[in-house]
Structure 1
């Protein structure tokens, strides 16, 4: 058996595209022992790569490259099986990368939520009531469809939330459609750099298609990618917010563009996400109650910490930037 034949044999029964290392690790142990004697490479996985690489470059390749970071390989003859697998693989790779980042920074991505919630609620330009969407509760298609449809945090701004306004005036504004309720979508990341920029940005694009405004929120950012973020912002309109751990007040690096609600996607989220359904139900109950009674309604929006609580939270969670 050659290393090329070994790769073909493994990939014929593989359930997902594999890296060169995984192809070697999934080979029959007896075959592995035999093949070790046929290469001078100290790492046999490199011999697998040497065998496959020429067949990726041919006009009618035997193998196809599915993903580049890391490189994953699939058989050309099984290409029709690939679309659902590709989405699942992207999710798996992203989850692995996020886990590595969390291990490096010593805190979890979701532990950043209170910092953003506090800012959104208290900043006069936003004045947003926000809610975390727990992805693990969402319905996911068996084929992987819609894996990236669910935002990390959703928010709503209620006009006249903190203003004294007569009910007659409010009724008039509602009757003539002059009250604008805005819905927001936020995708959070611990760090963004050149290696994950486009993947993170387009995840935010996908997750915010339903909302009036969409944002990518980042704790740590490589300053060298700002120009690229500006270019993407001009094309796709996703805003960028950076969490400032020293001031405990995030800053808007790039604003989001305004757009109409995508009702079809919004309805899909209501059907597939229990948290999003609760979010929409809360909005409807608040609107029915009128502005003057908003403070008297129980809801499921995330808790907003005061300054002292937030400082203690940041310290307890060891949320600090890497040197």
Structure 2
């Protein structure tokens, strides 16, 4: 019996579903419907391989390709031999509507702010950050003309202190030379990140987080479509905001998918404006100043939950990656 190939998986899965599918959907549906058969792969992202197969087929074979691309963002594929059996435009429109409705339902289950304790724990324990975070409640900001403070406030801000990593002598010489290893971070959170909200979410993060040494757009669920990842990579290269995906099953397996550009200088004009507009941010600056004077972290930032507390919190809130 011939061994099942990627092409077999693509062909059988699309035929069985009967609608255009993204590369990730082809893989997920193949697992769900059993069209994988005895197929196996050692690759961590088989959907990326599926996308490569489809693109190569289309580019090399043109009008004789096995698959056709029915949409670009996200990229979806269908079998050429079946294209006259359905109304592709109608099916695509219906699918887009269902996807949008699904995203709304998923978002309503828990809010972006419900994700704060997850990010607080991750940033505190992750070696890249080792940061104390504080939530910024935009509701308490000074009232301004409509649009004046739009996209001004990040969801959370964080600070890394070198107290645990550097010897006192190193800290003393830094102080004498007016050098600091303190880092400031800024975070914008979204429950889900996909083509439907990518640009708005990303430029919101550009607007409210570029002032820091590192700025990030953080999400629980992110579209795995290769074309989506390419678009995120393009934005990251152009504007420098990093992307973090939280892992609700094991918060310390959360991942920086795209690193932030490192700004050597803080945008102090924006810092000053945030401090003037928002008391939470102003208090954050006071906490940093107090801890710097003490040479250790004594201030009250957002609480870092213990592992059992965090697990219970995630369970009670119904937070999970999809």
Asked if these proteins are the same fold (TM beyond 0.5), I'd say yes
Equivalence for 1:253: 257
Contact 1:140 1:147 in 2 (8 A): no
Pair 102,140 (structure 1): closer, same or farther in 2 beyond 3 Å: farther
d(CA) in 1 for partners of 2:112 and 2:204? 15
Contact 2:247 2:321 in 1 (8 A): no
d(CA) in 1 for partners of 2:211 and 2:128? 21
Q: Report 1:45-194 matches (<5 A).
A: 101=104, 104-159=107-162, 161-163=163-165, 165-166=167-168, 169-194=170-195
d(CA) in 2 for partners of 1:197 and 1:169? 42
Q: How big is the shift at 1:175?
A: 1.4
Aligned with 1:223: secondary structure? Answer: coil
Q: Report 1:235-250 matches (<5 A).
A: 235-249=238-252, 250=254
Q: How big is the shift at 1:165?
A: 2.6
Match of 2:268 among 252, 263, 269: 263
d(CA) in 2 for partners of 1:117 and 1:111? 11
**Structure 2 regions of 5+ residues with no counterpart?**
1-99
Q: Where in structure 1 do 4 or more consecutive aligned residues deviate above 6 Å?
A: none
Equivalence for 2:287: 282
Greater C-alpha radius of gyration: 1
Aligned with 2:185: secondary structure? Answer: strand
Pair 164,212 (structure 1): closer, same or farther in 2 beyond 3 Å: closer
Aligned with 1:129: secondary structure? Answer: strand
Pair 105,263 (structure 1): closer, same or farther in 2 beyond 3 Å: same
Please identify, of 102-111 and 212-221, the stretch whose mean Cα deviation from structure 2 is larger.
Answer: 102-111
Contact 1:133 1:151 in 2 (8 A): yes
Pair 163,196 (structure 1): closer, same or farther in 2 beyond 3 Å: closer
Contact 1:128 1:157 in 2 (8 A): yes
Contact 1:102 1:108 in 2 (8 A): no
Q: How big is the shift at 1:169?
A: 4.4
Deviation string 1:51-72 (CA, Å, 9 cap, x unpaired) is xxxxxxxxxxxxxxxxxxxxxx
d(CA) in 2 for partners of 1:136 and 1:145? 14
Pair 137,300 (structure 1): closer, same or farther in 2 beyond 3 Å: farther
Contact 2:107 2:192 in 1 (8 A): no
d(CA) in 2 for partners of 1:195 and 1:318? 23
d(CA) in 1 for partners of 2:107 and 2:202? 21
TM-score, L = length of structure 1: 0.64
Q: How big is the shift at 1:164?
A: 6.6
Q: How big is the shift at 1:207?
A: 0.4
Q: How big is the shift at 1:140?
A: 3.5
Pair 209,104 (structure 1): closer, same or farther in 2 beyond 3 Å: closer
Equivalent residue pairs, number: 218
TM-score, L = length of structure 2: 0.64
Contact 1:101 1:190 in 2 (8 A): no
d(CA) in 2 for partners of 1:197 and 1:178? 37
d(CA) in 1 for partners of 2:283 and 2:311? 29
d(CA) in 2 for partners of 1:212 and 1:188? 18
Contact 2:154 2:205 in 1 (8 A): yes
Pair 265,210 (structure 1): closer, same or farther in 2 beyond 3 Å: same
Q: How big is the shift at 1:179?
A: 2.3
Tell me the C-alpha RMSD between the 2 structures: 2.0
Contact 2:123 2:131 in 1 (8 A): yes
Deviation string 1:143-164 (CA, Å, 9 cap, x unpaired) is 32121110000001111x2247
d(CA) in 1 for partners of 2:317 and 2:311? 10
